[in-house]
Amino acid sequence: MAEFARPRAIGFNHIALEVGDIDEALAFYGRLFKFELRGKSHSMAFIDLGDQFIALQKGRSQPADDGRHFGLVVDDKAAARKALEAAGVTPLEGPFLDFRDPWGNRIEIVGYDNIQFTKAPNVLRGMGLTHLAKNDKAKKELAEKGMAPE
């Protein structure tokens, strides 16, 4: 077998979620989060996350997600919890702030301060989020990998 260089996986450009209806999905997510729409058609919508995005695609037909999920990073996890409550969305049982959207997509809400993932300073500036900082646990994890914020 021939040897070849394998690419290194280094991050995510976007996540795609299948939903039943694009306008209903935008209304649902708009009750939970502030966001900018990158683009929209009758079968797709793109929610801007600065240098990343969430693609909503019409056509969900599979059952609700159980363990399969993704972690959506927010600037204020407590505010996200309040927004879920105000929208009548019940978080799932467990130690994390997980919920399912009306189409069964499972999403875990994660605070930016508590994770290793770091937006570049220029991206935070462009998003108006230069006030965000990491907590001590996240800083320690980053430092152990040689990635401590400056």
Q: Are residues 92 and 133 in contact, defined by beta-carbon separation less than 8 angstroms?
A: no
d(CA 100, CA 32): 12
Q: Are residues 49 and 29 in contact, defined by beta-carbon separation less than 8 angstroms?
A: no
pLDDT at residue number 62:
93
Query: Cα–Cα distances in Å, from 113 out to 29, 42, 134, 138?
Result: 22, 36, 4, 7
The residue extents of the domains of the chain are: 14-144
113 SS3 class: helix
pLDDT at 11 over 90: no
CA 30 remoteness from chain centre: 14
pLDDT at residue number 150:
65
* 48-107 pLDDT, tens digit each: 999 999 999 999 999 999 999 999 999 999 999 999 999 999 999 999 999 999 999 999
pLDDT at 117 over 70: yes
- The mean pLDDT value of the chain amounts to 94
pLDDT at residue number 148:
80
* 36-51 pLDDT, tens digit each: 999 999 999 999 999 9
Q: Which range among 24-28, 38-42, 112-116, 145-149 shows the weakest confidence by mean pLDDT? A: 145-149
pLDDT at residue number 52:
95
77 SS3 class: helix
**Is CATH 3.40.50.1980 what the domain over 14-144 is classified as, yes or no?**
no
